[in-house]
Amino acid sequence: MTMTEEQTMLWDTADRYLRDNADFNQRRDQIAEGVYSQPQKWQAFAEMGWLAMPFPESMDGLNFGLREIAILAELCGQYLVTEPLIDTLAVASTVLMHSDQAGALVPDVISGELIAIAAIDEPTAESRLSPSSTLSKTESGWHLQGRKYWISAGASATHFVVLADSCNGLAWVLVAKNAEGLSCETFPTHDGKGGANCHFDLAIDDNQILLMGDAASDALSAFRECAMTLSSAETLGAAQAALDTTVDYTKQREQFGQPLASFQALQHRMANMLIQTETTRSLVYAACDAADRDSPDRARFARAAKVKSAAVGRKVTQEAIQLHGGIATTDEYIVGHFFKRVTALETWVCSKGEALQEFMALDNNKIAPAGPA
């Protein structure tokens, strides 16, 4: 609803590509082999311009807004894409792009060679906003010391964008996955993205420090806000797909001599799933538009979308399993995988609870005059 012609075209092209190339059974086989990002597919993403979307034309980007990137995120949810698309775009558009090294790094992101993944979660830190990993000054340069755990899509990364504490405040540091002094354990994850736990104990050059101090803090805020909205969009896509699958299934499946879909108790639950999914959709699109217009309400809408999509993603995929019955509890059936992905998205970068707390603390969290976001 209410997409521009350009957005509709983007949706159609991406939808067609993923329908043909993101097969669910193939996905299962690849994950079993430990392949979370298929090089061929990643190259195709690059060729279709998906990896260039957020960057300005001066960097040979396509200068698309969040609304367009969210279209890809929504389809990633629908097709259970395991490649680190939103992961890369979120950190590249908010951290890499604003660093002095952008001129060198962004072209490699666009070509697909540099797969940079944000590393923010730590095993012991009280909050992901205040890392205990440290970047300290040495005689010859810098030293990065610390642990980053449970990095979603970390298995597919070529580089990590590490959030650390320094003498000048926060810092974002770029570290190649194969760097000496970085020990990295990768592992399968419940959502199929493949994760990593990393220990950093290595020397850092000036040119690896992307941002420091206020600029790093600002980038962290921007990254979190971008991640909130994109995770909401992906959750929306997964919830919609879970609902569609459920509607199809209950029309086919017969019990007591009639299709499950003919029972009013089930019809009303599916109606609730639709109501929840559609109202979430409105909020996700509004959050994108608020960001793209740089509205004063952008922080508020991003957090609202995160809270709403997390709650609805959970409820809708749980209901999808319940309405299917036993089949949905198996690994071979798709519905349970929507459920697992939205569960992982719920906590990615910013949890529902964190978003709600931040929503309540916002200055402009008054009852705003009506109108588009």
Partner 1 sequence: MNASSPLPTDSDAFRVAVRDFLSEALTPELIRAGERTTSVFSDFEAGRQWQSILHQRGWGAPDWPLEYGGTGWDIQQRYIFQEECRQANAPTPVMMGIQMLGPMLMHFGTPSQKERFLPGIISGENVWCQGYSEPGSGSDLASLKTTADHDGDDFVVNGTKIWTSMAHYSDWIFCLVRTDKAVKPQAGISFLLIDMATPGITVKPFTSLDGEVEQCQVFFEDVRVPTANLLGEENQGWTVAKSLLEFERGGQHFTIDLKKQLSKMQHMMSSETCRVTADPTFAYRVAETQIDVMALEQTELRIKGSLTAGDNPGALSSLVKVSGTELGQRCAELLIEAAGQSAIPWQSEVLAPSYNGSTAAASESVTTMAEYINSRATTIYGGTAEIQRSIIAKHVLGL
Q: Which residues bind partner 1 (CB under 8 A)?
A: 1-2, 247, 250-251, 261-262, 264, 267-268, 270-272, 274-275, 278-283, 285-286, 301, 304, 307-308, 311, 356, 359-360, 365-367, 369-373
As a dihedral over the C-alpha atoms of residue 330, residue 335, residue 337, residue 343, rounded to 10 degrees, the angle is -120
User: What is the C-alpha separation between 277 and 315, in angstroms, rounded?
Assistant: 10
From the CB of 244, what's the least distance to partner 1, in Å? 9
- In the bound state with partner 1, the residue whose beta carbon lies nearer, of 331 and 366, is 366
From the CB of 271, what's the least distance to partner 1, in Å? 4
From the CB of 83, what's the least distance to partner 1, in Å? 29
Q: Which of 14, 65, 7, 74 is nearest to 281 (CA)?
A: 74
List beta partners, residue 288.
Answer: none
From the CB of 10, what's the least distance to partner 1, in Å? 19
From the CB of 51, what's the least distance to partner 1, in Å? 29
- Is 161 within 8 Å of 174 (Cβ atoms)? yes
From the CB of 249, what's the least distance to partner 1, in Å? 12
User: What is the C-alpha separation between 8 and 68, in angstroms, rounded?
Assistant: 10
SS3 (DSSP) at 125: coil
Measured CA angle at 232 (ends 231, 238), to 5 deg:
90
- In the bound state with partner 1, the residue whose beta carbon lies nearer, of 101 and 365, is 365
Q: Which of 41, 91, 50, 84 is nearest to 68 (CA)?
A: 50
- In the bound state with partner 1, the residue whose beta carbon lies nearer, of 119 and 323, is 323
Taking each helix axis from N to C end, the angle separating 298-324 and 264-292, rounded to the nearest 10 degrees, works out to 160
Q: Which two tokens stand for residue 36?
A: 């979370």
- Is 207 within 8 Å of 103 (Cβ atoms)? no
- In the bound state with partner 1, the residue whose beta carbon lies nearer, of 139 and 265, is 265
Residue whose tokens read 């990615």? 348
From the CB of 1, what's the least distance to partner 1, in Å? 6
- In the bound state with partner 1, the residue whose beta carbon lies nearer, of 140 and 361, is 361
